Amino acid sequence: MMSAVPAAPRAPDVPVRLIHPLWVRVSHWLNALAAITMVLSGWRIYNASPIYEWFEFPAGITLGGWLGGALQWHFAAMWLLFINGTVYLTLACITGRILRKFFPVTPGTLLRDVLAALHGKLSHSDLRVYNAVQRAAYLAAIIDLILLVLSGLAIWKSVQFPLLRTLLGGYDTARVVHFWAMAFLVLFFVVHVTMAALVPRSLLAMIRGR
């Protein structure tokens, strides 16, 4: 009789490592939706009363159709951004994620990683760990979104929030702050999408969580 051929040993299961829990992924995409809606509708609102007379946004890339429609889109997205952002920051603080993911950031590590990125040598081998450039960029984006909300309140409810209006330098200055905070957010979005295209695994991780 022919002896039975022993079965090949089974390879051990590779554990699936969760990178982004469900609440992070949901809040990320809701935040992106709210921010894009606010920017596009905000451009239409800006065109109705430009800060800089020599500059307006092309009507074809704005949202709302007219000032009233743009305001409705803007306020709807504002509440989504505020509620979603509050939930995200609360859960990030409770779970300790904000400390694990975004800190520490030192000038030395930031300079090192910026130089590595410029030379195309910045590693993305472990998506669970953010490099110093990512940490600084995400922290800046969070601060910028908070500034957008505060400056927006100073513009929208100027009479109801006089102290906030004063801290921002008055109504007209609050509009300028709001405009440039929006410009920074657009710049962050462009860089963020570019990096996701260069490292597609990061996009898949934000969709699947692993």
Q: Which two tokens stand for residue 131?
A: 């490099």
205 and 141 housed in the same domain: yes
- By CB neighbour count within 10 A (0-12 exposed, 13-18 middle, 19+ buried), where does 25 fall? middle
Please check whether residue 192 lies inside any domain of the structure: yes
Please check whether residue 100 lies inside any domain of the structure: yes
121 and 80 housed in the same domain: no
Please check whether residue 136 lies inside any domain of the structure: yes
Please check whether residue 185 lies inside any domain of the structure: yes
**For position 188, what pLDDT does the model report?**
92
151 and 79 housed in the same domain: no
Q: Give me the helices (H) in 11-158, please.
A: 22-48, 67-95, 97-102, 107-118, 132-156
Nearest CA to 37 out of 63, 1, 59 is that of 63
Please check whether residue 75 lies inside any domain of the structure: yes
Range(s) of the domain holding residue 92: 20-51+59-104
97 and 128 housed in the same domain: no
164 and 95 housed in the same domain: no
26 and 84 housed in the same domain: yes
The pLDDT confidence band at residue 15, using thresholds 50, 70 and 90, is low
- DSSP letter string, 46-61: HHHS-SSTT----GGG
Please check whether residue 13 lies inside any domain of the structure: no
Nearest CA to 192 out of 130, 150, 115, 99 is that of 130
For residue 134, how many other CB atoms are within 10 A of its CB?
A: 20
Of 104, 138, 170, the domain-final residue: 104
82 and 147 housed in the same domain: no
pTM: 0.84
pLDDT at residue 129 above 70? yes
CB 138 within 8 Å of CB 102 = yes
127 and 205 housed in the same domain: yes
122 and 198 housed in the same domain: yes
pLDDT single digits (tens) 37-87: 999 999 999 999 999 989 999 999 999 989 999 999 999 999 999 999 999
72 and 154 housed in the same domain: no
Q: Which two tokens stand for residue 78?
A: 């504002």
Total count of domains within the chain = 2
- By CB neighbour count within 10 A (0-12 exposed, 13-18 middle, 19+ buried), where does 151 fall? buried
How far apart are alpha carbons 108 and 121 in whole angstroms? 17
Mean of all residue pLDDT scores within the chain? 86
Nearest CA to 34 out of 63, 93, 74, 88 is that of 74
Please check whether residue 12 lies inside any domain of the structure: no
Please check whether residue 6 lies inside any domain of the structure: no
99 and 120 housed in the same domain: no
166 and 202 housed in the same domain: yes
**For position 1, what pLDDT does the model report?**
43
How far apart are alpha carbons 203 and 45 in whole angstroms? 32
Most confident by average pLDDT, 85-99, 107-121, 127-141: 85-99
The pLDDT confidence band at residue 207, using thresholds 50, 70 and 90, is confident
